[in-house]
Amino acid sequence: MAATVVTRGKVSGLENKDFERLAIPLLDGLYNFARWLCSDPDEARDLVQETFLKSLKGFSSFREGTNFKAWMFRILRNTFLTSRTGLERRNTQQEDEEGFEESSVSQETPEIALIRRADTELVQAAIAQLAPAFQEVILLADLEEMKYQEIAEALAIPMGTVMSRLARARKQVREHIVLTLGGKRTVGVK
């Protein structure tokens, strides 16, 4: 008789176990990201739970070699975008992207000192005032330390868009900090 070797786990959840091993360490980051997107803790919580459910269901179709973290963040973001809050935000995002003008960053060294002086609360306020499209890019890049390619995968946008949004997001954060701490002095755009 031909031997069929399948462990119990394979039959009833080896995939689930693999998923759990990969996904649980991301939970905190996903929740944090969800909170930034949703603001409301309950909504963020639901979003994370739904993300885990969806990704677990879709895990069998997850292709080896794909970045798992980017995949999970992408599911979370897609889930968010199809939620009511997400749909509202999406309109805002489009408006905010219009009229984007690339501008150079100031090289004034006193601003570096101001950024270093900025307390967590101020930087959080600076991130919070960003349009969602910029907020998510800067969080994925600087907090989650994802590469541009991973961010592009997670957000389903071209890498060039990642770079331009990131530059814009950083510029706005920087301006918020410098304006708050440095008074009404003009910053950044020369």
Partner 1 sequence: MTNCEWREKIGLYVDGELEPRDEQAVAGHLPSCTDCASAVLEQQALKKAVRVAGKRFTAPPDLYASVQKQMQPKKTTGLWLKVSALAASAALLAAIAFAWIARPSTSNATVSQLIDQHVIMLASVNPVDVVSSDKHTVKPWFQGKLPFTFNPPELATGSPFALVGGKLVYSQHAPGAELVYQVRQHKISVFIFQARDVHGEPSAGNQTFVVNGWQQGGLQYYIVTDASREDADRLRTLLEDANRS
Interface positions with partner 1 (CB under 8 A): 1-8, 10-13, 16, 19-20, 23-24, 27-28, 30-32, 35-36, 41, 44-45, 48-49, 52-53, 56, 104-105, 107-109, 111-112, 115-116, 118, 120-124, 126-127, 138-139, 141-143, 145, 147-148, 163, 166-167, 170, 173-174, 177, 190
In single-letter form, the type of residue at position 30 comes to L
CB of 163 to partner 1, least distance (A): 7
Query: Which C-beta is closer to partner 1: that of 3 or that of 91?
Result: 3
Q: Which of 87, 69, 82 is nearest to 147 (CA)?
A: 69
Contact between 23 and 48 (Cβ < 8 Å): no
Q: What are phi and psi of 107, to 5 degrees?
A: -105, 15
**DSSP class of 125:** H
The residues near 149 (Cβ < 8 Å, ≥ 6 apart) are: 159
CB of 98 to partner 1, least distance (A): 22
CB of 87 to partner 1, least distance (A): 22
Helix (H) or strand (E) segment spanning residue 18: helix 14-23
Query: Which C-beta is closer to partner 1: that of 118 or that of 154?
Result: 118
Query: Which C-beta is closer to partner 1: that of 12 or that of 94?
Result: 12
